[in-house]
Copies of this chain bind each other. A is one copy, B any other.
Amino acid sequence: MKRNPSTIVRLFPSPRAYLYAMAFFFAGGWLLHALTAQEGIGPGEIEFTPFSLFSDPRYSAMEIVALIAVLGIAIGGLLYAFLLARQVVRADRGTQRMQEIAAAVREGANAYLAAQFRRIGPLIIVLTILLAVTYTGTVEAFRWGRAVSFLVGALFSWTVGFVGMRLATTGNLRVASAATRSYGEALQLGYRTGTVTGMLTDGLGLLGGTVIFLIYGEHAYEALLGFGFGGTLLALFMRVGGGIYTKAADVGADLVGKIEKDIPEDDPRNAATIADNVGDNVGDCAGMAADIFESYEVTIVAAMILGLASFGHIGVIFPLLVRGIGVVGSIISTYTVKAGAGNTSDTALRSVHRGFWIGSIISVVGFFILGFFYLRFDAEYIAMNPMAVGGFPNGDPLQLSWFAGLGIPGLDLRPAYTCLIGVLLAIVLNKVTSYYTHTAHRPVKSLAKACDTGHATNVIQGFAVGYEATVTTILVLAGAILISALCYAGAGPLFVAFGVAMTGIGMLTLTGNTISMDVFGPVADNANGIGEMGYEPQKMEATAPGNYRRARQILADLDAVGNTTKAETKGIAIGTAVVAAVSLFASFIAVIAVGSEDKINQMSDSQFMAEASRLTIAEPLVLVGLLIGGAVPFLFSSMLIGAVGRAAFYIVKECRLQFRDTDIWAGIKKPDYGRVVNICTNTAQKELIGPGLLAILSPVLVGFLLGPYALGGFLAGMILVGQLLAVFMADSGGAWDNAKKLIEDGHYGGKGSEAHKAAVTGDTVGDPLKDTAGPAINPLIKVMNMVSLLSLGLVLSYSLMSNRGESPLISVLFVAVCVAGIGWAFRQSRKESPEDSEEV
């Protein structure tokens, strides 16, 4: 095979493709502008003054103070993150050689994020403008409020991902260095690196929500939607791009290294090793951090929107205060995570888990005390917030059951209960994930055993395990939603939805701890890689005999702990998608009911019920929407899996080429790591456009083609199938991974046996499922939800199925643009490079 320069060139983002995408959006923008101009913006029906809540008599002084306090906590969280970051940066940086390797990884990671920024940046700008232009309401301040909030949400999401990755690539070196000194120091440093990202997520998420509420008060809905959309969209891109990057590098490195050449992972002769390590940061740090940030953001957005529409301002301030308590709980509990110098992974894991428990207890006690004092409703409050009437039996808060009010007149602890359900849900989801993916339990053992009869039986058993895992998970989620709904039995649908939203708030109360646990995984993994490539055994042994082996063992142990903590947190992120989506459904119906988002506060219960009843599965259009919605997660996953395959193919080719250089193979010449990093970076950028377009355009297409009710069905189908598929892929992948580890620990013949080969096959199959397609479905669900909500105003006016009297030509145009966009994305995802399409 000749080294064909066109291969490399083709990998770069094709400027033409880029141009097309931009043209789509600009054409859309122009169209929309023409439309809104045609409608004419009448005199504002709604009066709006920013920061009016400070002078609003409905808000007590205590509430204003509490909001300011939340703001303070948010800033405090950011400060804590900054202090930890400084600790990490100042830690010892190890030897020259280790620094070199860490620098290569960091450079690769930075190059990736820079490339992504160049590609996504303009899209975000265009979407910001588009959001402003397509605003169908009547208040000019909301037009830009939403657009700017979108931009801020996107920037926050980006920041979390960026800083998380920067810190991780800083921390890995320090952890590798600390491991030469003590176990405890290494663990603490790694965990704190994760905590920085965790607290950043907490701080920025809380800051955004609070500031928007302070500015917009009861009209926060508009801006919050934009804020949530910005966060999810960025997270989707980071997840997709990072997921493709990390698995292409991993699969490519494994295929060439472990399978073809039979050399260990992280062997410095393999040109793909640096890319593999970069991938861990790009996928598991940047992607995961942005993803959880987005979950944190969307759950607070859902709770604030529904809180306002149901219980009035108490309903919006309570979730903010709960989040504030959660941040305090995280700060305290993450600081307690420590390990002694000579500890083992078991005690380390116990310390991490103890931190989580401490945080949970602080939070739960905190928000029950808060609820006891704050959640008081009386006739005066209801007179000022008339929407709250539907939330109480006969509209009277004094008639609440003993369960809700502990017999104290006017007390309504239901929001605290639903929050508690969320906390418990997070814990149960952690346990479920751990049961299906941890080596200590039956499922992973059954996989290891199946390896004994070959590749195929391992893969088949993985299907059985993954299917069962997703069933258990969705039943747990359904149970939690059911119990949350039962807490509000008898109340109106918006109140029930608020209950579900509060469950989402509860789930992510301990985001700080969750992210710390998650990011710790790739940091430890990378530190291990730096140890493998960067430690100098002779030198180390010369200084202190036995030190090299001890340090390597510490790193291996930390890597195992990291794998476990990382796996445990996976269930939470995906679970939030369903909970947030279910609660956002109520907003969706509310908008259909009143015809435009800014009138949402004027909606009556009967209007809501009338529209909700049209979203019936008995209606063929809704059912067709449901079927189409269910198809999207499959198509999306298919695209991503294909993308990983294509990218890995290029990497394999490049590595084979470099291995042919006998100097590289002998280990005397450094391979050109940069080429592989470049291939990964560029392929990931190129491949994320297709799935991204699918996520943005498919709900718009369904809405314009089949109308708002079909869009409702679409959302339901997409949530259901997305959830099932995501957990199936994440957990089967995790189980395969650990089955391999189990065999490598010496079971069924250990490393090198036939069983081990079968286990490696399972692990490789699971890689794109668990780290690319599976986790990307979480932001996918939320992006499609947000797009549906944001485009609903236009859909109501211009859908082909709607009868609101607008010109069908415009609808046809919209449909055509969406079809062209999705078709292009799909074709793009199946395109093969010239050499790739050899005829069979």
Contacts and interface: CB of A to CB of B under 8 A. Distances in A.
B459 A765 contact: yes
A628 B648 CA distance: 37
Which of A470, A617, A648, A713 counts the most B-chain CB atoms under 10 A from its CB? Answer: A617
A627 B481 contact: yes
Nearest to A830: B442
A457 B765 CA distance: 7
A623 B582 contact: yes
Interface in A157-184: none
B482 A624 contact: yes
Contacts of A728: 634
Interface string A462-490: 01110110110011011001100100000
A721 interface: yes
A617 B621 CA distance: 13
Given A471-B638, A474-B627, A474-B631, A585 B617 contact: yes
A637 interface: yes
Given A464-B641, A471-B634, A628 B742 contact: no
A354 interface: no
Nearest to A478: B627
A456 B624 contact: no
Given A467-B638, A635-B471, A638-B464, A617 B620 contact: no
Interface in A705-728: 706, 712-713, 716-717, 720-721, 723-724, 728
Tell me the interface secondary structure of chain A in the complex: helix
A589 B618 contact: yes
A460 B637 contact: no
The range of chain A's interface size is: 35 or more
A461 interface: yes
Contact of A464 (B468, B578, B645, B712): B645
A543 interface: no
A630 B724 contact: yes
Interface in A65-124: none
B620 A459 contact: no
A747 interface: yes
Chain B CB within 10 Å, residue with most, of A496, A644, A761: A761
A459 B459 contact: yes
Contacts of A768: 460
Given A450-B645, A630-B721, A724-B631, A620 B485 contact: yes
A724 B764 CA distance: 24
Copies of this chain per assembly: 2
8 closest A-B pairs by beta carbon, nearest first, are A613-B613, A456-B764, A467-B638, A612-B618, A485-B620, A478-B627, A445-B840, A455-B761
27 contacts: A255-B457, A445-B840, A448-B840, A453-B649, A453-B652, A459-B459, A459-B765, A463-B641, A467-B635, A468-B634, A471-B631, A475-B631, A481-B624, A481-B627, A485-B620, A496-B620, A497-B620, A582-B623, A585-B617, A612-B618, A612-B619, A617-B617, A617-B712, A630-B724, A634-B728, A720-B720, A721-B724
A769 interface: yes
B720 A630 contact: yes
A590 to B, nearest CB: 10
Given A471-B638, A621-B485, A634-B470, A453 B585 contact: no
Interface in A247-295: 251, 255, 259
Contacts of A589: 618
Given A464-B642, A485-B621, A617-B712, A765 B627 contact: no
Contacts of A612: 616, 618-619
A626 interface: yes
A454 interface: yes
A556 interface: no
A453 B258 CA distance: 13
A493 B618 contact: yes
Nearest to A578: B627
Q: Which of A468, A477, A586, A764 has the most CB of B within 10 A?
A: A468
A626 B761 contact: no
A552 interface: no
A128 to B, nearest CB: 31
Output the residue of A477, A764, A838 with the most chain B CB within 10 A: A764
A485 B468 CA distance: 36
Pick from A450, A481, A620 the residue with the most CB of B within 10 Å: A620
B761 A627 contact: no
Contacts of A648: 457
Interface string A406-420: 000000000000000
A808 B478 CA distance: 23
The interface centre, meaning the residue of A626, A627, A630 with most chain B CB atoms within 10 A of its CB, is A627
A481 B630 contact: no
A456 B721 contact: no
Given A457-B648, A460-B641, A617-B622, 15 more contacts: A460-B764, A463-B769, A467-B638, A468-B638, A474-B628, A474-B630, A474-B631, A475-B628, A478-B624, A482-B620, A493-B618, A612-B619, A630-B724, A634-B728, A761-B761
A618 B585 contact: yes
A747 B839 CA distance: 10
Contacts of A634: 467-468, 470-471, 724, 728
A723 to B, nearest CB: 8
Interface centre among A635, A728, A742 (most CB of B within 10 A): A635
Contacts of A764: 454, 456-457, 460
Given A620-B481, A638-B468, A454 B716 contact: no
A614 interface: yes
A186 interface: no
A500 interface: yes
A130 interface: no
Interface in A607-664: 612-624, 626-628, 630-631, 634-635, 637-638, 641-642, 644-645, 648-649, 652
Given A464-B642, A468-B635, A481 B623 contact: yes
Nearest to A649: B453
A475 B255 CA distance: 35
Contacts of A649: 453
A482 B628 CA distance: 11
A765 B624 contact: no
Contacts of A496: 620
Contacts of A474: 627-628, 630-631
A10 B427 CA distance: 39
A449 interface: yes
A14 to B, nearest CB: 22
Contact of A720 (B470, B717, B760): B717
A750 B425 CA distance: 52
Nearest to A706: B482
A485 B618 CA distance: 12
B630 A460 contact: no
